[in-house]
Amino acid sequence: MSDYSNVTVGILALQGDFERHAHQLEILGAKVVEVRVAEQLETIDGLIIPGGESTTMDILIDRFRLRTPLQTFGNTKPLWGTCAGMILLAKKIEDNQAGITPLGLLDIDVVRNGYGRQVHSFETPLPAKLGGTDVTLNATFIRAPRITRVGKNVKSLAYYEDSPVLVTERTIMASSFHTELDDDTTLMAYFLDKTLAARAQS
């Protein structure tokens, strides 16, 4: 495993499940910044947009004047969106009755709650290919978004029932599911490795 002690990762901490991501980062030895203002983006190597309530997060992103800074950050540095974070990263949200304005950083279309509402939440072992290595992730789907379109430059790293649920494009990554709810740090370590690689190339 790599040494992550010199990696600083921000977690967008306006709303949602940011504490669990912080816990995994601390297990792996990375530094954590809870991001609430744009100036904090200048101090981090990568950023996680956690699960939560995408409508509320969308409102708070504008209230805290973070929309343009987040888009600028995502064009140059690693960013991972989990569940609601995936929704916010997408190009388009289908049946967007809540009127969310996605950041448009990842060339995918999604539908909210594509795997059912809260009562339909489930956990499953999920095969994935990370860095050319086959792994199994402990994936939890909670009101998870379903990807309905994948752009030509987007790579799918994991599928559930033949639909992509873990995708990456450039230094952007998004997952429909949660892996931060327990101590399985496989996917977090993969994101940290991507962050280290991107920093080395900058």
Hey, what amino acid is at 48?
I
Which parts of 107-173 fold into alpha helices (H)?
A: none
- Helix (H) / strand (E) element for 41: namely none
Q: Choosing from 23, 161, 169, 180, which is the catalytic residue?
A: 180
Q: How far apart are CA 167 and CA 150, in angstroms?
A: 9
Cα separation values, 13 from 40, 47, 202, Å: 11, 11, 26
156 SS3 class: strand
Q: Choosing from 34, 42, 123, 178, which is the catalytic residue?
A: 178
Quick check: is 180 catalytic?
A: yes
Helices 54-63 and 67-74: crossing angle, nearest 10°?
100
Q: Could you say which DSSP state residue 154 is in?
A: P
Quick check: is 39 catalytic?
A: no
100 SS3 class: coil
Angle of CA points 150, 35, 33, to nearest 5°: 105
Q: How far apart are CA 61 and CA 37, in angstroms?
A: 9
Q: Choosing from 21, 83, 94, 120, which is the catalytic residue?
A: 83
Q: How far apart are CA 113 and CA 164, in angstroms?
A: 15
Write out the catalytic residue numbers. 83, 178, 180
